[in-house]
Amino acid sequence: MQKLKVGLMGFGTVGSGVWRVLQDNSDKIIENCGFEIEASKILVRDLSKKRNGEIARGVFTDNPLEILNDENIKIVVEVMGGIEPAKEYILEAIKRGKHVVTANKALIASHGDMLLKAAKDANVKLLYEASVAGGIPIIHAIKESLSANRINSIMGILNGTTNYILSKMTSEKMEYDIVLKEAQEKGYAEADPTSDVEAFDAAYKLTILARLAFGIDVKIEDIYREGITNISPIDIEYATELGYVIKLLAIAKETNGKIELKVHPTFIPKGHPLAAVGDAFNAVYIKGNAVGELMFYGKGAGDLPTGSAAVGDIISIIREGTPNKMITQVINEKDLSNIKDMGSNQGEYYVRLLIKDIPGILGKIASLFGKYNVSLSSVIQKGKEEPAVSLVFITHETIELNVQYALTDIAKLPEVVSIANVIRVENI
Ligand code: NAP
Ligand code: HSE
């Protein structure tokens, strides 16, 4: 049996998953690509750490040159994370004619364009299936299987940690902090959970998907981003009562030649397939002009699901043989001025105010919404808590800027204690 040597850069959650998939599924892998794939060198930071006893100690190294300068290593799998030195190592691997597989969403989102060009110039492949939605083969689907479509919209639950938190807060009425701790213990959250809960992680993934689907060289700064730290059990209770579920949705949508790019907590109708995506699962819901509606569902994180995606990329490289074939992404096709600013977005909104419960206050608030053309579809006020009570509105479809103007005026009313939350509603 012919062996193909790969160099693994990183042996944490994903690296060990790649290694495990190569071991456990070796028969299937040989059947699919004709090679036994061997991780002949594994780069780590700390050589003194206890490692998997099935691997000879000599396989581990803390010197990247042992992989980069090894002419027998044809494919480098970067699963270290971070921008540097991962970027430098990938560029060096490309320069030396090696193909690269990576799971690094932050790197691909920030420097993917440059790295893909470098790979193309060097006639090697750079594949990154594991960088978005872990085990779900969404990159391949958009790049290849859906390439005959004009993509109208992508809506994704792209972060497992936040989906786990929101799902548990909904089903078990748990507090945010307690569930976050659980998500960290289960290994879903990034080392610094800020990236998850403030939606940077989902925004990186959306950057990659939007680039593929809409051909624009979008950066994370072009994406409106709002995390889940402001979602309270009371918002979840109102959502349930109104027939919605709150999800952190990453949305890329083309309307009349303009593209909306945003990640924020969203009310979605509880009958929508995305509403049923619980626990730490991910899902990507796509509308294409020929294919119609599609939903991809699966594990977006973890050693084996992510390992499955990365090893799938290795097999694609081996099977395709002719490197340039798969580097077909065309970017910068559209002007970035086509990205819609949030103020001009149209939609429905959930607004929760804390008010002093004084007769006449509802009328004053309703007339300020009316002043800015914001029409209301539901109003709920429950209980008579002291000193303030929650007053909840769902608007009809309106322009976001009008809601912001109305709320600026409403916040000035002496009876209004605070604008407790504003959450966008997608009646998909
Ligand atoms: P991780 O568990 O922290 O593992 C990182 C590995 O890289 C460790 O083995 C570490 O060495 C090594 N490493 C880090 N910096 C290094 C350096 N400068 N030089 C040499 N080795 C270095 O990370 P992970 O969760 O596997 O994530 C890896 C990548 O996959 C990230 O880009 C992440 O965003 C992405 N990703 C992760 C998941 C997931 O489920 N975790 C899913 C999809 C994508 P030591 O072992 O010596 O510390
Ligand atoms: N922290 C990420 C998540 C890991 O929760 O989805 C996968 O990218």
Q: Are residues 8 and 120 in the same domain?
A: yes
Number of structural domains (the chain) is: 3
Pocket test for ligand 1, best of 44, 51, 200 (most atoms within 8 A of CB): 44
121 and 8 inside one domain: yes
DSSP state of 259: E
Q: Are residues 10 and 84 in the same domain?
A: yes
Task: Enter the tokens of residue 367.
Answer: 């007339």
Same-domain check for residues 129 and 62: yes
Task: Give SS3 for 163.
Answer: helix
Whether 53 and 79 share a structural domain: yes
Indicate the residue type of 170. T
- For residue 414 the two structure tokens come to 């002496």
Query: Which ligand is located closest to the Cα atom of residue 130?
Result: 1
Do 237 and 159 lie in one domain? The reply is yes
User: Ligand 1 centre from 238 Cα, in Å?
Assistant: 39
Whole-number Å distance, alpha carbon 45 to ligand 1 midpoint, is 10
* Most informative mutation of 8, 45, 299 for ligand 1 (most atoms within 8 A of CB): 45
Are 112 and 176 members of one domain?
no
84 contacts: CB under 8 Å, gap ≥ 6: none
Which ligand has its closest atom nearest to the C-alpha of 16?
A: 1
Q: Does residue 154 share a domain with residue 119?
A: no
Q: Are 77 and 7 in contact (CB under 8 A)?
A: yes
CATH of the domain at 370: 3.30.70.260
Residues of the chain under the 70 pLDDT cut: 191, 322-337, 383-386
Nearest CA to ligand 2 atom 8: 301
> Is the domain of 275 the same as that of 369?
no
**What pLDDT, in 10s, does the model give residues 130-185?**
999 999 999 999 999 999 999 999 999 999 999 999 999 999 999 899 999 888 88
- Output the pTM of the full model: 0.93
Query: Which atom of ligand 1 lies closest to the CA of 47?
Result: 47
Ligand 2 within 6 A of 193 CB? no
Beta bridge partners of 123: none
Q: Helices (H) and strands (E) in the chain — how many of each?
A: 14, 17
In ligand 2, the atom with minimum distance to the C-alpha of 164 is 5
Which residues' Cβ are closer than 6 Å to ligand 1?
10-15, 43-46, 49, 79-81, 85, 103-105, 130-131, 134, 301-302, 306
- Report the alpha-carbon distance of residue 157 to residue 299 in Å, rounded: 11
Using alpha carbons, list the distances in angstroms from residue 103 to 83, 130, 248, 294, 384. 12, 5, 22, 24, 51
Measured distance CA(198)–CA(245) in Å, rounded = 19
Give the number of the atom of ligand 2 that is nearest the alpha carbon of residue 189. Answer: 1
Q: Are residues 153 and 76 located together in one domain of the fold? A: no
- State in Å: Cα 80 to ligand 1 middle: 4
We report the CATH number of the domain holding residue 247 as 3.30.360.10
Q: Is 74 a catalytic residue?
A: no
Quick one: pLDDT at residue 336? 59
CB 187 within 8 A of CB 13: yes
Nearest ligand, measured from the Cα of 183? 2
Task: Determine which one of 98, 205, 262, 340 is catalytic.
Answer: 205
Place of tokens 């780590």: 44
Q: Whose CA is nearest to atom 30 of ligand 1?
A: 103
pLDDT of 22 reads 98
Same domain, 148 and 291: yes
Q: Does 226 contact ligand 2 (Cβ within 6 A)?
A: no
CA of 58 to the centre of ligand 1 (A): 20
- Beta-carbon neighbour count of residue 144 at 10 Å? 13
> Residue 119 belongs to a domain with what CATH number?
3.40.50.720
Provide the residue range defining the domain that includes 401.
342-425
Residue with tokens 């078990």: 172
Q: Both 203 and 329 in a single domain?
A: no
